[in-house]
Amino acid sequence: MTRVITYGTFDLFHEGHYRLLQRAKGLGDYLIVGVTTEAYDKARGKLNVVDSLVTRIENVKKTGFADEIVIEETQGQKVNDIKKFHIDVFAIGSDWTGAFDYLKDYCRVAYLERTRNISSTMLREKNSPIQRIGIIGSGRIAARFLPEARLVSGVSAQGVYNPHTESARRFADQWDINVYEETEAFYEAVDAVYVASPHETHYGYIRDALAHGKHVLCEKPMTLKQRQAEELFGLAREKGRILFEGIKTAYCPGFHKLLGIACSGTIGSIRNVEACFTKLERAGSRELTDTVYGGSFTELGSYVLLPVLKLFGKAYEELRFDTIRDEKGLDIFTKASFRYPSGIATATCGLGVKSEGRLLVAGTKGYIVAEAPWWKTSYFEVHYEDAGRVEKYSETFLGDGLRYEISDFLSMINGSSSSEFKLTRGESAAVAGILERFLEEEGRPAQERQ
Ligand code: CTP
């Protein structure tokens, strides 16, 4: 009996998939089909898969060609599967020609000609037209966004707007995108907006973009006042548009896994959360010179508040800030201490003091620790009373990690709300509320400015 194996995502099942499976089956007597998990696809940079794993498996099953279906979860699994299932032929489409030659040590490798003019990517684009994203702001963060957006299928970077037209022009030249000098022309040319302007201008731009019927992805902190965040989410709902705060950690697969394990009971009931993120800024940077909106907490607070709010919720009983300020009165190190009915938490950040930058989640049975840069979570450990028992988890974190939030933003635009729980509107508003209280206590309450 000749045993054949093939693998794929099989998203939005199409004729190309059908013909591939038919021919793969024709190569032998028994066909095993490996279907990729969502996590594996994300890890290898394949974002925006539409169908669930169950649907994709069902569709492969319906063809009647698969004698057995397995799940492909990790890189390196193919070699093991080939040995485990005593495979004679590995078959895959010709778009992969050469890529699997290393399997020739284990079995015959057949590259089957790909069916022309059809692919899941094409169908995704047809079902959901490409979202043209316009960028407001042309600084460091905007520059980080562009290469990441180019990796997400279904979005295209259309152009940039910045009232400082010189900076916008330079940026547009560098990235080969359009530049808009007037907001009206800018809004006319785009479907969605990425707001990467200074913090205090976010509110005005978001309101404007929503009023023009655009979806909005806004850099953190979305606003510096809770009421403003709530108002904007209300406006988005009214307009039937997506408003999405880009705290990138919330969307990265590793952080997601960490939260899942923390909430699974593995470490018992959570009693203490400590999140710390410090980044020494060069003197003269905006963060250290803007004495109204600069400082460590407005810059990094969103990151360290995220695990606290995700794990303990928004209903804290007490909140206290301890701050170290520079000679201009700007906070260069801030510790927010929370008391909750069932535990305590600290969210610490610094621009002028260097600390270990760790995330620690302590429970009644054990603790989870993720070292810096945990805000780009790729590795963490679970420890118990028995010091010899340590569980290690790793997860891919690709590039700058913005691709994950862009991909979730796009899925929500395209009608899937399955990412909404990663950072809820209530959590975003709560972050704004904590930043607002901090700025008030510092004697520099946030104003609106555009
Ligand atoms: N395939 C094919 N002909 C097509 C599309 C896919 O023969 N027109 C084959 C691929 O080469 C692979 C299998 O079908 O062996 C599963 O491919 P998959 O990556 O799931 O499908 P694509 O349509 O290529 O998906 P995407 O556009 O997301 O890359």
The predicted structure's pLDDT at residue 320: 98
- Look at residue 392 and tell me whether its pLDDT is greater than 60: yes
- Note the pLDDT tens digit of each residue in 330-382: 999 999 999 999 999 999 999 999 999 999 999 999 999 999 999 999 999 99
Q: What average pLDDT is seen over the chain?
A: 95
Residue at which a domain ends, from 193, 224, 247: 247
Rounded CA separation 329/188 (Å)? 43
Taking residues 164-185, report their average pLDDT: 96
143 Cβ partners below 8 Å, 6+ apart? 171, 174, 175
The predicted structure's pLDDT at residue 366: 98
| CA dist list (Å): 368 to 230, 272, 276, 343, 385 | 33, 11, 14, 15, 12
Residues 241 and 278 in one domain: no
Q: Which one-letter amino acid corresponds to residue 322?
A: D
- Asked whether residue 406 is domain-assigned, the answer is no
Contact by Cβ (8 Å): 290, 281: no
48 lines ligand 1 (CB under 6 A): no
Q: Which one-letter amino acid corresponds to residue 330?
A: L
Lowest mean pLDDT among 59-68, 104-113, 117-126, 155-164: 117-126
Contact by Cβ (8 Å): 288, 352: yes
Strands of the sheet with 178-180, listed across from one edge? 178-180, 155-161, 131-136, 192-195, 215-219, 243-246
**Which secondary-structure segment (H or E) carries 34?**
strand 30-36
- Look at residue 449 and tell me whether its pLDDT is greater than 70: no
pLDDT-derived band at 419, boundaries 50, 70, 90? confident
Question: What is the SS3 assignment for 299?
Answer: helix
Taking residues 202-219, report their average pLDDT: 98
Taking residues 124-151, report their average pLDDT: 92
Taking residues 145-161, report their average pLDDT: 93
Residues 47 and 124 in one domain: no
- Note the pLDDT tens digit of each residue in 425-437: 999 999 999 999 9
Q: What is the CATH number of the domain that holds 217?
A: 3.40.50.720
Residues 243 and 262 in one domain: no
Question: What is the SS3 assignment for 440?
Answer: helix
Residues 260 and 382 in one domain: yes
Rounded CA separation 375/303 (Å)? 7
Question: What is the SS3 assignment for 256?
Answer: helix
Rounded CA separation 406/248 (Å)? 9
**Residue of 5, 15, 17, 113 to test ligand 1 pocket, by largest number of atoms within 8 Å of CB:** 17
Residues 298 and 392 in one domain: yes
Q: Which of 253, 229, 192 is nearest to 414 (CA)?
A: 192
Q: What is the CATH number of the domain that holds 346?
A: 3.30.360.10
Distance 121 CA to ligand 1 centre (A): 9
Residues 282 and 363 in one domain: yes
Q: Angle of helix 402-413 relative to helix 140-149, nearest 10 degrees? A: 70
Residue at which a domain ends, from 84, 112, 140: 112
Residues 268 and 386 in one domain: yes
- Note the pLDDT tens digit of each residue in 73-117: 998 999 999 999 999 999 999 999 999 999 999 999 999 999 999
Residues 257 and 232 in one domain: no
Lowest mean pLDDT among 45-49, 306-310, 393-397: 45-49
Atom nearest to 10 CA in ligand 1: 20
Atom nearest to 118 CA in ligand 1: 8
pLDDT-derived band at 418, boundaries 50, 70, 90? confident
Structural domain range at position 217: 120-247
Atom nearest to 95 CA in ligand 1: 11
Residue at which a domain ends, from 225, 247, 269: 247
Q: Which of 205, 230, 251 is nearest to 428 (CA)?
A: 230
Question: What is the SS3 assignment for 383?
Answer: strand
Q: What is the CATH number of the domain that holds 45?
A: 3.40.50.620
Rounded CA separation 305/300 (Å)? 9
- Look at residue 268 and tell me whether its pLDDT is greater than 60: yes
Q: What does the CA dihedral 169, 172, 178, 184 come to, rounded to 10 degrees?
A: -50
The size of the chain, in residues, is 450
- Asked whether residue 299 is domain-assigned, the answer is yes
The predicted structure's pLDDT at residue 292: 85
The predicted structure's pLDDT at residue 310: 98
Atom nearest to 122 CA in ligand 1: 27
10 lines ligand 1 (CB under 6 A): yes
- Asked whether residue 438 is domain-assigned, the answer is no
- Asked whether residue 448 is domain-assigned, the answer is no
Distance 13 CA to ligand 1 centre (A): 9
- Look at residue 450 and tell me whether its pLDDT is greater than 60: no
- Asked whether residue 412 is domain-assigned, the answer is no
Taking residues 108-134, report their average pLDDT: 93
What burial letters (b/e) apply to 22-58, b meaning 16+ CB within 10 Å? ebbbebbebbbbbbbbbbbbbbeebbbbbbebeebbe
Distance 407 CA to ligand 1 centre (A): 20
Residues 220 and 176 in one domain: yes
Atom nearest to 9 CA in ligand 1: 20
Residues 174 and 212 in one domain: yes
Distance 282 CA to ligand 1 centre (A): 48
Residues 272 and 387 in one domain: yes
- Asked whether residue 257 is domain-assigned, the answer is yes
Q: What is the DSSP letter of 280?
A: P
Q: Angle of helix 425-441 relative to helix 226-239, nearest 10 degrees? A: 150
- Asked whether residue 424 is domain-assigned, the answer is no
Ordered DSSP codes for 146-202: HHHHTTSTTEEEEEEE-SSHHHHHHHHHHHT-EEESSHHHHHHH-SEEEE-S-GGGH
Residues 130 and 85 in one domain: no
Q: How many domains does the chain have?
A: 3
7 lines ligand 1 (CB under 6 A): no
Alpha carbon 122 to chain centroid distance?
23
Distance 93 CA to ligand 1 centre (A): 7
- Asked whether residue 241 is domain-assigned, the answer is yes
What is this structure's pTM? 0.88
Atom nearest to 121 CA in ligand 1: 27
